[in-house]
Amino acid sequence: MTQSFWRKPSVLPGFGLTMGFTIFYLSLLILIPLSGLFWKSASLSWGDFVGIVTSPRVMASYRLSFGAAFIGAVINAVFGFLVAWVLVRYRFPGRRLIDALVDLPFALPTAVAGIALTTLFVPNGWIGQYLEPLGIKVAFKPLGVVVALTFIGLPFVVRTLQPVLEDLEVEVEEAAVSLGASRGQTFLKVIFPAILPALITGFALAFARAIGEYGSVIFIAGNMPMISEITPLLIITQLEQYNYAGATAIALVMMLISFVLLLTVNGLQAWSQRRHGRI
């Protein structure tokens, strides 16, 4: 007696057709535009390319863009976890309002966010007037870039962690406590391993979003070369000067660095998931 095995029917057409549409769609939206960066940059000689992408002004913009994006993502990883924890584990008046405010950076135009943050943190602003006597200057300084990038990256961490925390039942923590674990041990041995993959994902999303941010930064940064000028603004400046080859060269280096960093973060996430699965 022979037994027949039937493949489970799929809602969408077969692999060949769907894979073809996938490659076509990705090529149209991602691969072809990105290949334009390589093609335009190829019009430069190797010496000119290296001279453009390693000039002191460009290097300073790299340090500010990637450094501020990393700091902002780390801040969001810490405080985004706290916000997600409060929204998931506690019920209090105004909870829905706070939950809606988390998504405000998504809905708010980035230029409006930049103007609002600048108004708050200038020396005579609502917050800046209290920081000025302490010698803390936010607006038109690199610190202002960090503030703006932290603002726009918070929702990515919170929304990534919320479903994981909702699936993490309170009984698991209670079981750990009943076995004699302290609060610190419960967090480090039970909660943190469960949320670590989602936390890394939220960090990567916030970091990637911050690297390419432009609208909310240009108003609060001051845009001073070598001090508070981000790389996206420098690319726009090159385009306004009709230096298309120089703009694409800088954009190409930024894209490659971003890809390597995101690939590293994704590798850490995959390692964390495998390690958590073994545990």
DSSP string covering 53-75: HTSHHHHHHHHHHHHHHHHHHHH
How far is C-alpha 182 from the chain's CA centre?
33
Confidence (pLDDT) at 28: 82
- Mean pLDDT of all residues in 79-98: 91
Lowest-confidence pick of 64-73, 87-96, 185-194: 185-194
Lowest-confidence pick of 102-111, 146-155, 223-232, 266-275: 266-275
Do the domain assignments include residue 92?
yes
Domain span at 65: 36-278
Do the domain assignments include residue 19?
no
Do the domain assignments include residue 26?
no
Tokens 């691969």 correspond to: 31
Enumerate residues 6+ apart whose C-beta is below 8 A from 265: 200, 203, 204, 207
Does the structure show a pLDDT above 80 at 260? yes
**CATH assignment at residue 73:** 1.10.3720.10
Do the domain assignments include residue 29?
no
Do the domain assignments include residue 17?
no
How far is C-alpha 243 from the chain's CA centre?
29
Do the domain assignments include residue 14?
no
pTM of the model: 0.84
Distance CA 76, CA 149 (A): 10
Distance CA 56, CA 51 (A): 10
Cβ–Cβ under 8 Å, residues 72 and 210: yes
- How many independent structural domains does the chain possess? 1
Do the domain assignments include residue 12?
no
Distance CA 155, CA 265 (A): 19
User: pLDDT-derived band of residue 261, with 50, 70 and 90 as boundaries?
Assistant: confident
Question: What pLDDT digit, counting tens, does each position of 98-155 carry?
Answer: 999 998 888 888 889 899 999 999 988 899 899 988 889 998 899 999 999 999 999 9
